[in-house]
Each structure stands twice: as structure tokens, then as C-alpha cells.
């Protein structure tokens, strides 16, 4: 694939495959796992790229010496030890954990007397008791393995939504469960295997049409859930993720998302609009499934990431389906409308979905219909335009728009040429 076809979004530098680019450039202080690190209750809030190796280097002002570095990175933290104990069992099921979790692991940097920086097995796993990344032996693909209570509500809903009948519905945007099996020593514990998922903003959207695609997929998925009587109740950004393997032709590291699998070189990627990504709802830990014949469809409880939902209550019943609508409206506001200046077409939909009175909010199906009307009015130029940050200065905007105009004209010319070639062929 030509290098020119690859892009780097956000603040990522261009990647050259014949040059190793350090993933960590400004180490300042050591980070150690402690009880203050995120627990299993907040796994999705933890971004390993924000603190892994945060600020460490051999030539920094830190008073940590080489032996301390070796101890920090050469010792498994508590959650890693738990997963290491299941290494051989998971391997027997066809899934291999990272090298540092292999029983009897000896840090690779010790053989040469080096410091741990730059060695893949020095990259500590996120402190997550219930979730670990792995590779499926059959095809070397990345997956997530989640430890759950056997037969609990979350796993029951997730496996139901992954049943053969429902999995074939193109509107199903619930994370598929690839396999599920019990723990060999404790039948009360099971493991759910899922595709490896990335946060929806890693890397960030670049074009308006990528936002359009996100809104379409997420609303389709919400309609699908609600038709089945399932209310997610916690569909905030951390619980909306994407399978983006097609964006990374050379792969990526499961912890350092910006890196190639070696954990050192930066990973080039393709625009999501050029290859397509699929978005998924994850984590059905507080979801409910209400049979169609049951009325009224009400619940209580104030758990969830979005604390702006006005009706949440531990005592006063409310409609969980209208809560989902509010949360998704807030997602669109926070992730896109508040950030970019050229997605104002979202405002009417957001305002409708986030009405304080649940009775004034649309159903998921009504929100999707409203969105399809808005989407149909967007021109090709609007959809293909770059996303413009609201804080972008006018001068910078003019320069970038001029540059992007040439890109857009080139895109239209290629489309026209492809059409001529196809017709003649």
C-alpha cells in the first residue's frame, strides 16, 4: 500500500516504516500501580496511553535509578498476576496473552543489561481485574477477554444479542460475543471473548461524513436494542467503541494504540471514511430487558456515567428507553457539536433528544427518522469537508480550507474518472 494512502490524525506525526519512532518522548517521573489506579469498576475510564511510562527516562531529572526501573517494569501488578494464572488455560482455549503474562516470564531487557524502555514486554497491562487483551491463535487477531459471573444479567443480555438470529441483523450494533466458557476451577466465573475494540475517538474523526456515519450507526443500533425491549442505560462515550482493524494495515498495539505491535514504531492509519468502521454498544452491566407485553416499562436506579440525565432516581420510577435517548443526545453534543463548528446540523436533533421532560423526547425510532431527514439535506461538499474545531482561528481556518478545497476537487475528479472507467468497462 502506498505510503501516501496512509494518514495520521490529530497530533500524531507521520510514520516512516524504515524508521523506528520512539513512542515515549518526554518521560519525567515513574508511575507505579497502586490502589489509586482505576479499579474494575472504572476500567473504561482508564487510558493506558496517558500514564504508561509517564515521564520516565534514564536521563531525566528523576531520582529513580536503573534498579528501580527494572523492578517497576519487571514485576507484574496484582491484576496482571491474576491473568497470568489463567495464561495456560486461555491458551488451551486458543487465546494467547502478552509475553509478560506468560508463567515464568523473565524480562527480555535483563539479558543485555539494558533498561526496560523500548521493550514490548515492559509495557504493563492496564490495571483491570475483569478485562485483558489477547490474540486468537487461529488467525492472530486481537480480542478482548472479559471475566464475568456465570449467568449474570450482563452476560445473559450480551449472549442473547449475539445469538445467530440477531447477529445477522445489520442494525445490530451490540458487541458480538465470539465465545464464552467457564473457568476450570470456579464454575461461577466465565469468560466472554469479544473483538478488540478501540475508543471512538482514537484516532479522532477527520471528516464530517465520519460524524454522519457514527450518528447513523449508533441510532440504528439504539432502535434495534429498543425493539428487543433492551434499554442500555449507560450508553455514554466510554461504552461506545469501534472495530477499526481495517484502518491499520500494519496492525497496532493493544495498549499503546498509537503504536505498531512492537510498541515502539508509530502506527499509520487510513481514514475511517475510506475503509469503514463499525461502532458497537458495550458493557450491559446495568442494562434491562423488559418484555414487550409488560406495562408500564419503568425502572429505578441512578447508576451510569452520564450524571446529567435529569430523571435518574433510586426511588421514583422512570422510562429507561428515554434515558438512552437523552444519553445519546449528550454524546452527540459533547463529542461533536461542542467541538466542531461545521456540524451545527446536529443541533435540532440534540435539542430534541435532551429535553428535560422525558415525555418531550423522541423515541429511538423517531430520533432515527428525524436524523435521516437531516442527513438527506447534507450536500456532498458538506459531508466530505474536514471537521473544523470551534477554537480554530479565522486565519488558520482560511488556510486549511483552501488546502482542503484542492483535496476535495481531486476527490471529485477521481470519482468522476472512476465512473467513466466503470461505464466503459
pLDDT digits (tens, 9 = 90+) for 236-267: 999 999 999 999 999 999 999 999 999 999 99
User: Given the DSSP bridges, would you call strands 299-301 and 240-243 parallel, antiparallel or unpaired?
Assistant: unpaired
Question: With the C-alpha atoms ordered 64, 66, 70, 71, is the resulting torsion angle positive or negative?
Answer: negative
Per-residue pLDDT tens over the stretch 24-37: 222 222 333 333 32
Segment 152-180 shows an average pLDDT of: 96
Identify the pLDDT of residue 400.
76
Predicted local distance difference test score (pLDDT) of residue 65: 60
For residue 46, the model assigns a pLDDT of 45
CA distance 164 to 355: 37
Q: How far apart are CA 150 and CA 145, in angstroms?
A: 14
Band (pLDDT 50/70/90 cuts) for residue 230 is: very high
The three cell numbers locating residue 224: 434495534
Q: pLDDT class for 343, splitting at 50, 70, 90?
A: very high
**The CATH fold of domain 205-384:** Transferase(Phosphotransferase); domain 1 (1.10.510)
pLDDT of residue 21: 30
Q: pLDDT higher for 418 or 352?
A: 352
Burial of 259 (0-12, 13-18, 19+ CB in 10 A): buried
pLDDT tens sequence across 372-394: 999 999 999 899 999 999 988 87
CA distance linking residue 334 with residue 354, whole number of Å = 12
Residue 63 has pLDDT above 80, yes or no: no
Residue 49 clears pLDDT 60, i.e. is over it: no
The runs of H, that is alpha helices, within 354-425 are 364-376, 380-384, 394-424
Per the model's pLDDT, the better-predicted residue between 407 and 57 turns out to be 407
Supply the Cα-derived Rg of the chain in whole angstroms. 23
Share of the chain above pLDDT 90, in %: 71
> Do residues 36 and 51 touch, judged by C-beta distance below 8 A?
no
pTM (2 decimals)? 0.82
Mean pLDDT of the 320-342 span: 98
Mean pLDDT of 82-104: 97
Contact call for residues 162 and 156 (beta carbons, < 8 A) = no
Percent of the chain with pLDDT over 70: 80
Predicted confidence (pLDDT) per residue in 103-154, tens digit: 999 999 998 878 888 899 999 999 899 999 999 999 999 999 999 999 999 9
User: Which of 51-65, 267-281, 398-412 comes out lowest in average pLDDT?
Assistant: 51-65
DSSP-H helix ranges across 250-343: 272-275, 320-332
Q: Residue 68: pLDDT above 60? A: yes
Mean pLDDT estimate for the chain:
85
Give pLDDT, residue 57. Answer: 42
- pLDDT-derived band at 402 (thresholds 50, 70, 90) equals confident
Confidence at residue 323, expressed as pLDDT on a 0 to 100 scale: 98
Contact 191, 147 (CB under 8 A): yes
Question: Looking at residues 210-223, what average pLDDT do you find?
Answer: 99
pLDDT at 2 over 80: no
In the prediction, which pLDDT does 398 show? Answer: 79
Lowest mean pLDDT among 42-56, 117-131, 175-189, 377-391: 42-56
Amino acid at each position: 500500500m502506498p505510503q501516501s494512502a496512509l494518514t495520521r490524525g490529530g497530533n500524531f506525526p507521520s510514520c516512516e516504516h524504515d524508521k523506528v519512532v520512539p513512542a515515549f518522548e518526554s518521560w519525567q517521573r515513574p508511575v507505579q500501580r497502586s490502589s489509586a489506579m482505576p479499579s474494575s469498576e472504572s476500567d473504561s475510564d482508564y487510558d493506558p496511553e496517558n500514564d504508561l511510562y509517564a515521564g520516565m527516562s534514564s536521563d531525566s531529572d528523576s531520582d529513580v535509578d536503573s534498579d528501580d526501573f527494572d523492578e517497576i517494569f519487571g514485576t507484574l501488578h496484582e491484576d496482571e498476576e491474576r491473568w497470568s494464572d489463567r495464561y495456560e488455560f486461555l491458551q488451551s482455549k486458543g487465546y494467547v496473552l502478552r509475553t509478560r503474562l506468560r508463567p515464568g516470564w523473565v524480562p527480555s531487557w535483563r539479558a543485555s543489561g539494558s533498561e526496560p524502555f523500548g521493550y514490548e514486554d515492559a509495557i504493563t497491562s492496564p490495571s483491570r481485574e475483569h478485562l485483558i487483551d489477547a490474540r486468537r491463535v487461529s488467525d492472530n487477531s486481537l480480542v478482548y477477554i472479559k471475566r464475568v459471573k456465570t449467568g449474570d444479567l450482563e452476560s445473559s443480555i450480551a449472549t442473547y444479542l449475539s445469538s445467530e438470529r440477531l447477529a445477522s441483523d445489520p442494525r445490530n450494533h451490540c458487541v458480538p460475543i465470539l465465545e464464552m466458557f467457564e473457568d476450570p476451577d470456579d464454575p461461577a466465573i466465565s469468560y466472554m471473548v469479544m473483538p478488540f475494540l478501540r475508543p471512538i475517538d482514537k484516532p479522532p474523526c477527520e471528516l464530517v461524513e465520519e460524524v454522519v456515519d457514527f450518528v447513523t450507526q449508533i441510532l440504528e443500533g439504539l432502535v434495534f436494542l429498543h425493539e428487543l425491549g433492551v434499554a442500555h442505560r449507560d450508553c455514554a462515550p466510554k461504552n461506545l467503541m469501534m472495530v477499526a482493524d481495517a484502518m491499520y494495515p500494519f496492525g497496532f498495539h493493544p495498549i499503546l494504540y498509537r503504536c505498531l505491535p512492537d510498541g515502539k514504531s508509530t502506527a499509520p492509519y487510513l481514514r475511517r471514511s475510506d475503509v469503514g468502521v463499525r461502532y458497537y454498544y458495550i458493557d450491559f452491566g446495568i442494562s434491562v430487558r423488559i418484555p414487550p407485553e409488560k406495562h408500564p416499562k419503568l425502572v429505578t436506579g441512578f447508576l451510569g456515567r452520564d450524571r446529567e440525565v435529569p430523571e435518574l432516581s433510586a426511588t421514583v420510577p422512570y422510562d429507561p428507553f428515554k434515558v438512552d435517548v437523552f444519553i445519546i443526545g449528550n454524546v452527540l453534543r459533547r463529542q461533536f457539536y461542542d467541538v466542531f463548528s461545521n456540524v451545527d446540523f446536529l443541533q435540532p436533533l440534540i435539542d430534541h433528544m435532551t429535553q428535560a421532560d422525558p415525555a418531550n423526547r423522541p423515541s429511538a425510532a423517531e430520533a432515527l427518522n428525524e436524523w435521516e431527514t437531516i442527513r438527506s439535506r447534507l450536500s456532498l461538499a458538506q459531508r466530505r469537508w474536514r471537521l473544523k474545531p470551534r477554537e480554530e482561528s479565522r486565519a488558520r481556518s482560511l488556510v486549511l480550507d483552501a488546502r482542503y478545497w484542492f483535496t476535495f476537487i481531486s476527490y471529485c475528479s477521481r470519482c468522476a474518472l472512476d465512473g467513466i472507467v466503470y461505464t466503459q468497462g
